[in-house]
A = this chain, B = another copy of it.
Amino acid sequence: MVKSGLLLVLSGPSGVGKGTVKSAIVEKKVFPFQYSVSMTTRKPRPGEVDGVDYFFVTKERFQEAIDNDELLEYNEYVGNFYGTPIKPVEEQLAKGNDVLLEIDVNGARKVREKMPDGVFIFLTPPDIHTLRSRLENRGTESEEVILGRIAQARKEILVMEDYDYAVVNDTVANAVSHIKAIVDAEHVSVKRVIDSYRKMVQED
């Protein structure tokens, strides 16, 4: 019984610790997943291997990939383009392998449009969760600062609405534990397994 893998999208506000959480998942082998190799127009650094670290391409080739809808999402950073090619992701999912993308919230929104069945995990800073009580308990913040932080939290919560899960990054261990549970649970969700059960019993 071959099941499709899960597209796991780990995102959240800048500075929330997405990279640290992803590294912890990799280092502790919390669950197996495939990397998605990004496409970029920046030059390879010493030791970087084409097709392993990145697909290194020209700006013309990158533009062609955009025009041909070959990318799940892309963005520009200090003059270079970075993007996630769809095809290798789809190939891994078809093999039953999970794929983890760690991307910013704009990228995640684009991925949701193209692959709505992905598992979208929003990593939140603990100060969204406990913002008010922390600010108030601290007793040193002006009302203006508190209101500014609350306004920021409001915006971040609007982003969270488009996600499936909200994981508080209070400690990396806690965040990783929640993400592992999410992956385990999604693997046994009826909407993901029902087709393979149906196929199994229909094959005579």
Contact = CB atoms under 8 A, between A and B. Distances in A.
Interface in A169-197: 177-178, 180-182, 184-186, 188-190, 193-194, 197
A201 B131 CA distance: 8
A160 interface: yes
Interface of A: 1, 122, 128-129, 131-132, 147, 150, 153-154, 157, 160-161, 163-168, 177-178, 180-182, 184-186, 188-190, 193-194, 197-198, 200-204
Contacts of A182: 181, 184-185, 188
Q: Shortest 4 CB-CB distances between A and B: which pairs?
A: A181-B184, A185-B185, A181-B181, A182-B185
A132 B198 CA distance: 12
A161 B194 contact: yes
A132 B194 contact: no
A190 to B, nearest CB: 5
Tell which of A131, A166, A197, A204 has the most Cβ of chain B within 10 Å.
A197
B204 A190 contact: no
B160 A201 contact: no
B154 A166 contact: no
A175 to B, nearest CB: 10
A132 B200 contact: yes
Nearest to A178: B188
Contacts of A160: 190, 194, 197
